[in-house]
Structure 1
């Protein structure tokens, strides 16, 4: 009996956490998967008899939906441009903060981290004024050097770049702290040995700093990639997917279909296509990570 109690004790401790995880994480995923094979909408929620099983019709319709295909293209544009900029700028900021004095580094750490914890609506209001085509600060500064007004949020292509700039600025804080922690964990003896061998700063960065931060870089890249594939807040509050659907992302498309148009089955199907993209991208990165470690 005592042996049984000893074996069951760990399960009593982890049981509540597992139950919450199953109830609020795995169960909704299963429900969403089931819904994605039906025509569930607002009428169906009021009367379950109105819900019909339609198989993979939602998925087939999505692959021929011009708005959804455009949102896929927009999302991949965000990922291709935004991920390298986010990871690279965060790494550069961390390296620069690591080189300066402790008081100055602490001050700028707070400055760079504040946007990450600031409400996106407040940020959108400020950046909306900056991007204003008629009276915005950016166009005013460009006018000082005789450059015409740029339609920051009015042209589909420029609007995507504008949202990327905003998102990179907002997201630098967390990644910067991870890189900074990795930098501070590198033993000083490595750099002292490099100084004895006559290595310059570039050589120390290339052969000591970057290889020693490989795991932190991998982690930041994975989390940043997943975040950009779920790009939602910036286009939602700044452009609502416009102009001409030019800034719509897959996550925003899911929100529009599921919560604005109440097409829950259609939106759920789109969410699982996004889920598949995220899984594939993550597996590819793990594949490259394993290859690098085996070399």
Structure 2
């Protein structure tokens, strides 16, 4: 009997510790998400905002209208292009930088860590405005370097063919330092004895990376990939500050499209539908990543 009472006391104590976090999650996550889902099933607009009697339940009409909107499909295509190109670049740059900083031959490693990580903690808007000046066609440093070797200047942010690569350069530079620290932390947990044993067996640098380092960091590699995919699918501030979705809507992302639907045209029901479509896309891509990683043995 005393054991049962003790168990119940422990359960009450556990719920007491968990309750504040659960309440916070309910107030600031569950309720807003459910409210947004219900909002996506209505025609909530500026007229309903002024008078709720104008609010109507429209079911899945917002989703049907979005799937028939070429602007939405263009935004989705741009977002997919950002993710397909940007995720490998970001993860690859992060891993290379982490491997370089983890090597004992590199000097001033603490300084390089700060240099690589500093862009991530710098205000995004400020750095985006700075890159606008760097990429400027007339007086940007990048075009100055290009023209100094005899090549023509590039209208980085004014040409639909170069606007996405220009933003990608900025995003990779801005974010890879965070992933680099994650990789660096896990690389420092790999025992040196494993590398030494592989070296004694005659394994070169590539073989040691493939058969020792890569299996050890595989779960972290998966984590970084999932974080990077979600981040690139939620790009908004970068195109908003640097190009305002132009030129010719070549840098409009799904999140940027959602912002315009909700706060430019005041179609809040449609904007909520965009948010849930984006959620489903990110969920589907994440599940595919987990399935591939499980098949490759990187995740159990």
Q: TM-score, normalised by structure 1?
A: 0.97
Deviation at 1:287, TM superposition (A): 0.6
Take 1:149 and 1:231, find their aligned partners in 2: how far apart are those partners? 27
Instruction: Quote the residue 1:45 is aligned against.
Output: 49
Instruction: Quote the residue 2:74 is aligned against.
Output: 70
Q: Which ranges in structure 1 are unaligned for 5 or more consecutive residues?
A: none
- Contact 2:156 2:162 survives alignment (8 Å): yes
Take 2:247 and 2:232, find their aligned partners in 1: how far apart are those partners? 20
For the aligned residue pairs, the C-alpha RMSD in angstroms reads 1.5
Give runs of aligned pairs for residues 52-63 of structure 1, distance below 5 A.
52-63=56-67
Take 2:5 and 2:107, find their aligned partners in 1: how far apart are those partners? 57
Deviation at 1:233, TM superposition (A): 1.5
Instruction: Quote the residue 2:272 is aligned against.
Output: 268
- Contact 2:129 2:241 survives alignment (8 Å): no
Matched, 1:197 2:176: no
Deviation at 1:5, TM superposition (A): 3.3
Q: TM-score, normalised by structure 2?
A: 0.95
Take 1:134 and 1:100, find their aligned partners in 2: how far apart are those partners? 43
Instruction: Quote the residue 2:121 is aligned against.
Output: 117
Matched, 1:35 2:45: no
Deviation at 1:241, TM superposition (A): 0.7
Give runs of aligned pairs for residues 174-185 of structure 1, distance below 5 A.
174-185=178-189
Deviation at 1:45, TM superposition (A): 2.0
Take 2:50 and 2:184, find their aligned partners in 1: how far apart are those partners? 52
Cα gap change, 1:201 to 1:101, in 2 (>3 Å): closer
Q: 3-state SS of the aligned residue for 1:89? A: helix
Deviation at 1:207, TM superposition (A): 1.4
Deviation at 1:244, TM superposition (A): 1.0
Deviation at 1:46, TM superposition (A): 2.2
Deviation at 1:99, TM superposition (A): 1.1
Q: 3-state SS of the aligned residue for 1:22? A: helix
Instruction: Quote the residue 1:11 is aligned against.
Output: 15
Spell out, residue by residue over 1:229-273, the C-alpha distance to the aligned partner (whole angstroms, 9 max, x if none): 111111111111111111000011111111222110010001111
Give runs of aligned pairs for residues 254-265 of structure 1, distance below 5 A.
254-265=258-269
Alignment counterpart, residue 24 of structure 1, candidates 17, 21, 28: 28
Q: Which ranges in structure 2 are unaligned for 5 or more consecutive residues?
A: none
Deviation at 1:2, TM superposition (A): 4.8
The count of aligned residue pairs is: 295
Deviation at 1:21, TM superposition (A): 0.2
